[in-house]
Structure 1
Amino acid sequence: MRVLHTADFHAGRITRGYDRTAELHDALSEITSLARTERADAVLVAGDLFDAVNPPAAAEGIVYEFFLRLKELGIPSVVIAGNHDSASRLSGLSGLLGWVGVQMVAELPADLTRLTRTIETRGGEKLVVGAVPFLSERRLLRAADLLGQDVGAWRQKFRDGMGQLMEYVGRSYQPGAVNMMMLHTTLDGAKPSGQRSITLDLSKTYTVSGMQFPAGTQYAALGHVHKPQGVGDAVSAHYPGSVIQLDFGEGGEQKQVNLVEVTAGRPASVTAIELSSGLELRTLRVTHDNLERRLEEARSFRGLLKVVVDAPAGTALPGLKAQVLSVLPGVLAVELNAPEPSEKVTPFAEREGLSRLELFERYYAQKSGALPDALRAAFVEAQQAVRAEAAEGVEA
């Protein structure tokens, strides 16, 4: 059996004001073509079809077109809702989507047996998928906080509850079938884009352990983390990642879908298939000294660019964004990385004997750099005015 696993479309995504709909349309068309050429028996989509609960019409159009194309190829799919999706909205569409071969699981049903979905493949094999949609841990945390209860204990309850739910769903696994689990969640040890580790500290984050997958799980199809990776050793559990680079933290990541080849009762073989759709996102780090040269070198770049200018603490560079955009009008973001200077009190001995103008120059230099001539002249003029008023007061 050959199953194509994908996730995290985030249709409707706007990156720093730039609409990504056309790129995502290309990526979904590419995945449809791969489903055909790789002779996929089924497609699993592990959540976050959309970037927001109320997506624009164009975003809905490209996602539903994707499922229509799969229907034309005779390829069924199982889909779960992610944390960015409107669970109620997708639930309302589940009946219509069923007509094009989509088994949608968007909300936790009263009858938990409905979390198990079965596909009879063209080759006569059976695929059983325990499809668990995103369950909002934030609501759980909010309830615990309002009740004045131990938040850490509630996080552990979430973890335990997810384990019990997966164990229950695993009871529907069938001998002689291929048995998989699909979730939109964070698994222990997963690393999000930017290489920031997700720790196992349950007081800070909700995670599920790879040891909690029920016996007989041949593959765990995961969504939620955008960095493609395999996680854990107990079960073959994988995040295919987002299908295009969605933000600059994902710059440099090769996007992919997973082709899972598996037969009943045997370990799954997972092959990453690279995607070519979507613009490359890149962060260009420069200094003010080499800014112009580096911008000229980047003229040939055809992706989406963010420019970060590193400067000494307290540096102000007025007109920086205009300077960058005059060379590269397509830059999406310009950031100045100049940390706030540490507040230091000048010892009295170092201030003794300095004029007010010299003290002001030192203060201004600590905050903003060299004192402009116009501001120096204004300060001197203000000093003279104060002295004149003081003299008039003495004479009176």
Structure 2
Amino acid sequence: MRLLHTADFHAGRTLRGFDRTPEIRAALTEVADLAKSERADAVLVAGDLFDSVNPSAEAESAIYDFFLRLRELEIPSVAIAGNHDSANRLAGLSGLLGWVGVHLVAQMPASPQAAVRTITAKNGTDLVVAAFPFLSERRLVKYADVLGGDVGAWRQKYREGMGFFMGQFERSFRANAVNTLMLHATVEGSAPSGSERTFLFDLTNAYTVSPQQFPTSAQYVALGHVHKPQQPSEAPPAYYPGSLIQLDFGEAGERKGVNLVEVEPGRPAKVHFLPLSAGKPLKVVKSDLDDLDRKLAAVADFPGLLKVVVQVPGGATMPGLKDRVLRLLPQTLAIETEAVGEAAPASVERRDGLTPLQLFERYYRERRGVETLPSNLKAAFEEADRLAREEEVPGAGVNA
């Protein structure tokens, strides 16, 4: 049996105001073409189809066109919701997507066995997929923080819970079938991509799953969530294929692709990484003032998107720097200064002790490339955070 494993599409992603959806659409077309040329029996999509819970029409079109293309090729797929997806929204579409061959599990059902999907390949072999969508740990974190609890204990409870579900899944595996586990989570020991989106990384990577919790009878574990392609477990073999394109400058220079998995009942999977060519490459250019013009000229013909970091003495202001860079490199999306010398910060900016609002303000600056969070958005975030805390703490916000 031949499987194509992919994840982390993030349709609808913008980078410093630049819409990446056309590149993601092109990458998805390439994935569908690979599914055809590699004679895939099924495609596994391990979460984060979209970049936000309210994707644009263009983002939805890119995703649904991909699944329609697989339908035309008569290649079934199994997909799960990731932390960026709206589980409720996808759950509402699961029946409709089922008509085009998509086995979508957006929310964990009351019985774990109800999340198991079986696909019969053309050669008669059954593929059993334990589809484990993202389970949010944010409420546990906030609850523990508000009550002053031991967050480490909550993390252990989370890990035990994940282990319980995976143990339940293993009951559905069969000796005469290809048995796979698919989940959207952070596996202990996996390496992040270095993404700039520190706010979301903080919230969604608070807890980890141990590779030792994976069902031993699984022949392949299809992972999603971490954007850097890697193998965090050998027994059973577990892989992150990574994101489809270099989504932000933390992923600059990373090779992107999908995994081709060759597997048969009772035997470990053989995995081949298939690179993708779609998507603009990203590059970070770092220079001091004396060498700036030479460094900029050296990347004048770079075909992708650039981030320029200029080292300035003592953090001095540099009027006209943006115009100077954009005049030579119009493909530059981000221009930043980095203080060097006596006034330079002693260490990397820390996130410890920051409030959720402060983390969100930092995330918004990184995402949008602006200095100030709009007042209406700030007020909306504060209100949402207040309501979340009232909901999660028994008795909070209730009039006596």
TM-score class, shorter-chain normalisation, is: 0.7 to 0.9
| Amino acid in the other structure paired with 2:157 | K
Question: Residue deviations 1:176-234, cap 9 Å, x none?
Answer: 000000000000110011399xxxxxxx9311010001120100000000000111232
Query: Structure 2 stretches of 5 or more lacking a match?
Result: 197-204, 345-400
Task: Output aligned runs, 1:374-393, within 5 Å.
Answer: none
Query: Structure 1 stretches of 5 or more lacking a match?
Result: 197-203, 344-396
| Amino acid in the other structure paired with 1:229 | Q
1:249 aligns with 2:219: no
Q: Which residue of 2 aligns with 1:387?
A: none
- The alignment partner of 1:299 has SS state of coil
Q: Report the Cα distance in structure 2 between the residues aligned to 1:243 and 1:300, rounded to whole angstroms.
A: 24
User: How many Å apart are 1:113 and its aligned residue?
Assistant: 1.4
| Amino acid in the other structure paired with 1:87 | A
Q: Report the Cα distance in structure 2 between the residues aligned to 1:40 and 1:73, rounded to whole angstroms.
A: 10
Q: Which residue of 2 aligns with 1:334?
A: 335
Task: Output aligned runs, 1:82-231, within 5 Å.
Answer: 82-194=82-194, 205-231=206-232
User: How many Å apart are 1:275 and its aligned residue?
Assistant: 0.4
Question: Residue deviations 1:266-302, cap 9 Å, x none?
Answer: 0100000010100000001111111112212221111
Distance 1:325-1:342 versus aligned 2 partners, 3 A rule: closer
| Amino acid in the other structure paired with 1:329 | P
Contact 2:258-2:275 at 8 Å conserved across structures? yes
Q: Which residue of 1 aligns with 2:234?
A: 233
User: How many Å apart are 1:7 and its aligned residue?
Assistant: 0.1
Q: Which residue of 1 aligns with 2:11?
A: 11
Contact 2:311-2:340 at 8 Å conserved across structures? no
- The alignment partner of 1:78 has SS state of strand
1:80 aligns with 2:89: no
Q: CA RMSD in A?
A: 1.6
Contact 2:309-2:338 at 8 Å conserved across structures? yes
Q: Which residue of 2 aligns with 1:264?
A: 265
Misfit runs of 4+, over 3 Å: 339-343
User: How many Å apart are 1:340 and its aligned residue?
Assistant: 8.2
Task: Output aligned runs, 1:364-383, within 5 Å.
Answer: none
Question: Residue deviations 1:123-155, cap 9 Å, x none?
Answer: 110000111000001122122333443221011
Question: Residue deviations 1:298-351, cap 9 Å, x none?
Answer: 2111100010111222332222111111222221010001158459xxxxxxxx
Contact 2:195-2:249 at 8 Å conserved across structures? no
Q: Which residue of 1 aligns with 2:299?
A: 298
Q: Report the Cα distance in structure 2 between the residues aligned to 1:255 and 1:306, rounded to whole angstroms.
A: 19
| Amino acid in the other structure paired with 1:71 | R
Contact 1:188-1:208 at 8 Å conserved across structures? yes
Question: Residue deviations 1:66-113, cap 9 Å, x none?
Answer: 000001111001000000000000000000000000010111112321
Q: Report the Cα distance in structure 1 between the residues aligned to 2:315 and 2:126, rounded to whole angstroms.
A: 64
- The alignment partner of 1:164 has SS state of helix
Q: Which has the larger radius of gyration?
A: 1
TM-score, reference length from structure 2: 0.82
Task: Output aligned runs, 1:56-67, within 5 Å.
Answer: 56-67=56-67
Greater mean deviation of Cα atoms: 265-274 or 314-323: 314-323
Count residues with an aligned counterpart.
336
Q: Report the Cα distance in structure 1 between the residues aligned to 2:55 and 2:284, rounded to whole angstroms.
A: 28
Q: Which residue of 1 aligns with 2:285?
A: 284
Q: Report the Cα distance in structure 2 between the residues aligned to 1:168 and 1:211, rounded to whole angstroms.
A: 15
Percentage of pairs with the same residue: 60
Q: Which residue of 2 aligns with 1:27?
A: 27
Contact 1:314-1:341 at 8 Å conserved across structures? no
Q: Report the Cα distance in structure 1 between the residues aligned to 2:86 and 2:258, rounded to whole angstroms.
A: 24
| Amino acid in the other structure paired with 2:136 | S
Q: Which has the higher contact order (CA 8 A, sep 6+)?
A: 2
Distance 1:100-1:188 versus aligned 2 partners, 3 A rule: same
